Amino acid sequence: NFAHPGEKDYTYIDINKALDDTITICRNEWKYFAQVITDYDPDLPYVSCAKDEVNQVFLNIIVNSAQAIGESSSSDGNEMGTITVSTSYNKEEVVITISDTGPGIPEHIRDRIFNPFFTTKEVGKGSGQGLYIAHDIIVERHNGVLNFQSEMGKGTTFTIKLPLDSRQTSHLPG
């Protein structure tokens, strides 16, 4: 499912399966630091979107969650964090939440995390593009919503809202 990079066509996809595929693909990023728990709505409708772009968003957020947990875990590695991925929907949109038990995002940087090149990682560890790209894909290309809530010492939850049919409202030319 990740084998067709650059595919920009909108197609109806199973978000639950896309999330499962992403969790599997990035397992090496989280397996030493966290357990991943899924709570999917089994009746989730398919969503019209650019599949590879939406998978990239899931990947960026899950990897960031794993890295946050990994950087904050005990030095002996015995404390595993948790990443919880859930889905739900209403008549207009699908809602995906990705929560982690990392350290949380400090208040003084929260207004910058979607800015290009903003990173809290040391030099050479991150480009500061992941959340910027995720925001662009969800908000600009799919007319959705990407936001977060964070509590220091408790973790962060990212919420993604995708219209059931992004083609009708997207900012794509044509």
- What is the pairing mode between strands 34-39 and 81-89? parallel
pLDDT digits over 78-88, tens only? 678 999 999 99
Question: Looking at the DSSP assignment, which residues form a beta bridge with residue 156?
Answer: 100, 150
Q: Which pLDDT belongs to residue 52?
A: 93
Among candidates 162, 137, 142, 161, which has minimal Cα distance to 60? Answer: 137
Which of 84, 78, 79, 81 has its CA nearest to residue 102? 81
Which among 137, 156, 161, 164 has a CA at the least distance from the CA of 62?
A: 156
44 with 15: CB under 8 angstroms? Answer: yes
Highest mean pLDDT among 18-22, 130-134, 140-144: 18-22
Q: 3: which 2 tokens?
A: 């084998």
Whole-structure pTM value: 0.84
Q: What is the pLDDT of residues 79-124, one digit of tens each?
A: 789 999 999 999 899 999 999 999 888 888 877 777 765 565 554 4
Give residue 128's pLDDT band: very low, low, confident or very high (50, 70, 90): low
- pLDDT category, 40, cuts 50, 70, 90? very high
User: How many whole angstroms separate alpha carbon 128 and alpha carbon 125?
Assistant: 9
Place of tokens 């090496």: 28
